[in-house]
Chain A
Amino acid sequence: MAKRFMYMNTKAPYGTVYALESLEVVLIGAAFEQDVSVAFIGDGVYQLAKGQDTKGIGMKNFSPTYAALGDYDVNKIYVEKESMEERGLTLNDLQHLVWEDEDEDWAEKDSIRLVSRAELADVIDDQDVVLSF
C-alpha cells in the first residue's frame, strides 16, 4: 500500500548539496509509486527561483528537473507563504510548475500551492513519512 511521503526542502541550492540530494530522493520515491508531496520552506523556496544560470560557477543547474516532477505524478508542491514574504519573493519569481490530469483529458494544472505556515502544518500532520533536507 502506498504511503504518504513528504519531502521538506529547507536550504538554498548550490551553497550545500541538500537541494540536489532531495530532488534525487523525491524522484526515487515517485518511481516506487508512493504518494509524494514536496514542501519548500525557509531558504528552500530559493530552489524554485526561475532563471537560474550556473555556467559562471561550474556547477550543474538542476533547476529544470523541478519541471519534470509533474511527469512523475509529483504534483503536490507546497510553498510556504511566510517564507516567500520574508525573502521579498512572489510566485512570479518562481518557476511555473504544472502537471497533466489524465482524469480530465490531460488538462494542465498548477502544481505549486502557496500555503500559510498553519496550513502546511496540517498537511505535514497528515503524512505517514516526513523527510527533511
Chain B
Amino acid sequence: MTTLHTVNKSPFSSDTFDACLGLAKSGSTVLLFEDGVYAATSGTVSADAIANANGITFAVLGPDAMARGVEGKIADGIKIVDYDGFVDLVAEHDKVHAWL
C-alpha cells in the first residue's frame, strides 16, 4: 500500500511534521503545503530530517511556497509541484493520510 502524506502545519509550531516523518514508511510520499512548506526550507532541522529520510519522496506545493516567499529556499532534492501535480500524487497513491 502506497501512501501520500500531506502536512500543512509549520514544523516549528506543530508536531505534525515530526509525527508524520516518524510513521511514514519507505516508498511513501510526503507533500508539504500551506505552512507545511517551511519544513522544506534549507538551513532548518526539518530539512536535515528530510535529507536523512531514505526511501521517502518529498514534494512541496509551489504556489504555497511562492506565496510565502520561500520557493528559492526549498532544499535540493525536494520536488515542487503545482495543483495538478497534487492531484496526480493523490491518484498515484493507494490512500492519502492528511495530517492535522
Contacts and interface: CB of A to CB of B under 8 A. Distances in A.
A56 B12 contact: no
Judged by DSSP, the binding face of A is loop
Contacts of B41: 87-88
A87 B67 contact: no
A84 B62 CA distance: 22
Interface residues of A, number: 26
B86 to A, nearest CB: 12
Contacts of B73: 88, 93
A51 B10 contact: no
Interface in B1-57: 8-10, 12-13, 34-35, 38, 41-45, 47
A15 B34 contact: yes
Contacts of A46: 38, 68, 70
Interface residues of B, number: 25
A89 interface: yes
A52 B12 contact: no
Given A86-B44, A88-B73, A93-B73, A13 B68 contact: yes
Contacts of A55: 66
Contacts of B44: 86-88
B12 A43 contact: yes
A87 B12 contact: yes
Interface of B: 8-10, 12-13, 34-35, 38, 41-45, 47, 62-64, 66-70, 72-73, 82
